[in-house]
Amino acid sequence: MNYRHAFHAGSFADVIKHVVLVRILLYLQEKPAAFRVIDTHAGAGRYDLESDEARRGGEWLTGIARILQARFSDAALPLLKSYLDIVRSFNPPNALKAYPGSPLIARAMLRPQDRLTACELEPSARKQLVDALRRDAQARVVDLDGWTALPAFVPPNERRGLVLIDPAFEAKDEFNRLADGFTSAFRKWPTGSYLLWYPAKSRRATEALAQRVAQAAAAANPSGKCLRLEFSVAPQTADAALASTGLLIANPPWTLQGELRTILPELEKPLGQGGAGRFKLEVLKP
């Protein structure tokens, strides 16, 4: 369940995922028509970096804390600014005490005509998210399993938008469920954008997932495109903590690949552990 994310909030994986999330939503803002964000495994929304869980995990210290202190080039900084500004908005000046999860980052990107649907089943995380979004007419928290909600909520009335699928990966079949859920949803809404997160620990599992997603995307929308991004902060070993994170982006903005080519090289040094990190960015072919 997503409540465990309190140990990992603000980690390098969050940074990579949320940088991409913000770039996609900025692109959707460029047209006046409304869009919908559907977050299938939303989590608590806001994470206290001074909590016992965050102190024990400490992953934010090598994630968002380093990014806020890093210096970026004139090319990369404008592409990171919106993300960094959102994180800073949840904190006192010159301090880092909290980190926003994906639903609150998405909420910060909504215009008056846009909407957010956030699904969270775990009671404690759902209560925190409801409290964070209370009396918000543009955001709805749904007490529903994300895998059930995924095919049920697409296509949205707005017909434009993004589906974020970010499960906890505690179940052994989560990679298969992710591929199955994406395939089912994409058949119903092949023109929406989809952002799928996964831990890149098993090369066999990640390659199988990427191929299934690419094949499903090509079958439902032959003119579409699918990107794969993997970012490693250190060599990944089976028994070690997560050091490699992955994203699959179906129907990405046409600008996204070039933007990431500018951003990612400048994240390698601050996020690297025991040396610079490394990234791989490619167009998936079914």
Q: How far is 9 from 1, CA to CA, in rounded Å?
A: 14
Burial class from Cβ neighbours inside 10 Å (0-12, 13-18, 19+) for residue 205 reads middle
Cα dist from 281 to 22, 76, 77, 225, whole Å: 18, 17, 20, 13
Specify burial of residue 112 (Cβ count, 10 A radius: 0-12, 13-18, 19+).
exposed
Mark whether 166 is an active-site residue.
yes
Q: The dihedral of CA 14, 246, 130, 58: what is its sign?
A: negative
The length of the chain in residues reads 286
Query: Taking CA 1 as the corner, what is the angle to CA 132 and CA 88, rounded to the nearest 5 degrees?
Result: 40
User: Which residue of the set 166, 173, 180, 239 is catalytic?
Assistant: 166
Copy the structure tokens of residue 138: 């543009």
Tell me, rounded to whole angstroms, the distance of Cα 206 from its chain centroid. 17
The residues that are catalytic are 166
